[in-house]
Amino acid sequence: MALAHVHEPNFDALMGPARFFAPEGMLVYGTSFYNSTYKVFDALRDRWFCVRYTKIDVLSEEAEADLAPWAEKMQDCNVLSQDDEGSWSVSKDPDFMPPLLWQDKLSEVPGSWVTTRIGDLDITGAIQPKVYVVGQWERVFKRILFIGHVPRIRAEINAHAIIQSHAHVVSIESVVLCDDSDEVVGITLPYIKGGNFDDRTSFKMKWFIQLMNTVDDFRYRFNLSHGDIATRNMVVDDDDNVRIIDFEAARQPAKDESDVDGPCVVITAYEAMTKRDWEVDSEIDWHHNPDRLRKRGVYVMQRDWECVVELDDDAGLLKELLLLWIVARDREDYSWPQFVFALSSQLGEFVARHSQIS
Q: By residue range, what is the domain housing residue 75?
A: 24-91
CATH number for the domain including 328? 1.10.510
- E strands present in 229-291: 234-236, 242-244
* Contact present, 289 and 225 (Cβ < 8 Å): no
Proportion of the chain above pLDDT 70, given as a percent: 89
> Do residues 94 and 79 make contact, with C-beta atoms less than 8 angstroms apart?
no
Q: Are residues 146 and 282 in the same domain?
A: no
**Which range among 83-97, 248-262, 263-277, 313-327 shows the weakest confidence by mean pLDDT?**
248-262
Q: In terms of DSSP bridges, do strands 79-82 and 47-53 run parallel, antiparallel, or are they unpaired?
A: parallel
Indicate which CATH number applies to the domain containing 130: 3.30.200
Q: How do residues 248-260 score in pLDDT, each as one tens digit? A: 999 887 666 678 8
pLDDT at 168: 98
Structure pTM?
Answer: 0.87
Q: What is the mean pLDDT of residues 54-74?
A: 91
H or E stretch covering 159: helix 150-163
135 with 168, same domain: the answer is: yes
My answer on whether 85 and 122 are in the same domain is: no
The beta-strand segments (E) located in the chain are 20-21, 27-31, 34-42, 47-53, 79-82, 88-91, 115-117, 123-128, 131-134, 139-143, 174-177, 184-190, 202-203, 234-236, 242-244, 310-311
Residue 6 covered by a domain:
no
> Does pLDDT of 59 surpass 60?
yes
300 and 229 share a domain? yes
Does residue 230 lie in a domain region? Answer: yes
Residue 31 lies in a domain: yes
Which residue would you say has higher pLDDT here, 16 or 328?
328
Instruction: Work out the average pLDDT over 190-194.
Output: 92
Domain boundary among 91, 112, 139: 91
Query: Is 255 found in the same domain as 323?
Result: yes
Q: What's the mean pLDDT when you consider all of the chain?
A: 88
293 with 349, same domain?
Answer: yes
Q: Is residue 195, in this structure, part of any structural domain at all?
A: no
Question: Does residue 123 register a pLDDT over 70?
Answer: yes
In a domain, 175, yes or no: yes
User: What integer pLDDT is reported at residue 30 of this predicted model?
Assistant: 59
pLDDT above 90 (res 57):
no
Cα separation, 68 vs 41, in Å, equals: 11
Pick the range with the lowest mean pLDDT from 49-63, 111-125, 163-177, 283-297: 283-297
Q: Are 43 and 14 in contact (CB under 8 A)?
A: yes
For 131-153, what is the mean pLDDT?
Answer: 92
Going by C-beta distance under 8 Å and a sequence separation of 6 or more, which residues neighbour residue 53?
34, 35, 36, 37, 81, 82
**pLDDT tens-digit profile of 228-245?**
999 999 999 999 999 999
Residue scoring higher pLDDT (35 or 338): 338
Spatial CA neighbour of 192 closest among 164, 170, 223, 174: 170
Whether 259 maps to a domain, the answer reads yes
Return the pLDDT at 132.
96
- Kindly indicate the confidence band of residue 43, based on its pLDDT and cuts at 50, 70 and 90: very high
| 139 within some domain | yes
pLDDT above 80: residue 85: yes
**Do 329 and 235 belong together in one domain?**
yes
**Residue 1, pLDDT score:** 43
Model confidence pLDDT, tens digit, residues 287-322: 556 667 667 777 777 788 899 999 999 999 999 999
Number of domains making up the chain: 3
Residues 177 and 40 in one domain: no
List Cβ neighbours of 302 (8 Å cut-off, separation of 6 or more): none
Domain membership of residue 196 (yes or no) is no
Would you say residue 96 has pLDDT above 80? yes
263, pLDDT greater than 50: yes
**In the prediction, which pLDDT does 344 show?**
96
Contact 185, 143 (CB under 8 A): yes
Nearest Cα residue to 212 out of 55, 42, 336, 46: 336
